[in-house]
Amino acid sequence: MIEAIATIMGLIQGILVWANKRSNWIFYCLQYVFLLIFNIQAKLYGDITNSIIYFFIGVSGFILWNRKKGNVPIKRCSIIEKTAYISIIIISTVIVYFILKGTDDPLPLMGALTTTTGYVATYYMLIKKTDTWILWFINDILYIIEYYMLSERAWYLITLNIIWTFMAIGSYITWNKLSKEQK
């Protein structure tokens, strides 16, 4: 039941962020409350940490996307930003992997990779960079694999990440269009 509620919150959030709506952050926060409970039960320690941090990032996103203070423009990442986020993902994945390897996390490498890629993607979503959707596309595929590899497969979350994979493509197209219209 927890997994299903998290999935519903995630679907609503995905639709709202695709449409560039500030209210997406409310459902983002709700989703991570339910994912926290799910991840505790599954002993996915990297994802437990994600859920806690993502909740607070969701609050930050709601504040940053405040329409009264002016809408944050959508932009593309520079070559320097792309090099930086790829480097951060690689280095952070190695560090987090060795931390998770010392626990009973059933999938420490996948947990490390989804954790670090998700943080970087979320940061770029906060500051409205179109590359966020490339990173989310990759992260969604990684989560599909991770949830499938669990001994008790998380079918609702697998389905959610399949849908999000397609939504990442749609969001990338939409945000690129909005970026060009803002110029």
Q: For residue 91, give both structure tokens.
A: 């280095």
Share of the chain above pLDDT 90, in %: 61
Gap between the terminal Cα atoms of the chain: 45
pLDDT in tens, 92-124: 999 999 999 998 888 999 989 998 999 999 999
Of 39-53, 62-76, 94-108, 146-160, where does the model show the most confidence? 94-108
pLDDT(70) > 60? no
What residues are paired with 129 via a beta bridge? 75
Residues with Cβ within 8 Å of residue 139, at least 6 apart in sequence: 114, 117, 118, 121
Average pLDDT for 27-53: 89
- Specify the pTM: 0.82
Residue 67 CA, chain-centre distance (Å), reads 22
- Amino acid type, 137: F
Q: What is the dihedral of CA 61, 137, 170, 73, to 10 degrees?
A: 40
pLDDT in tens, 126-163: 889 999 999 999 999 999 999 899 888 888 889 989 99
Average pLDDT for 4-31: 91
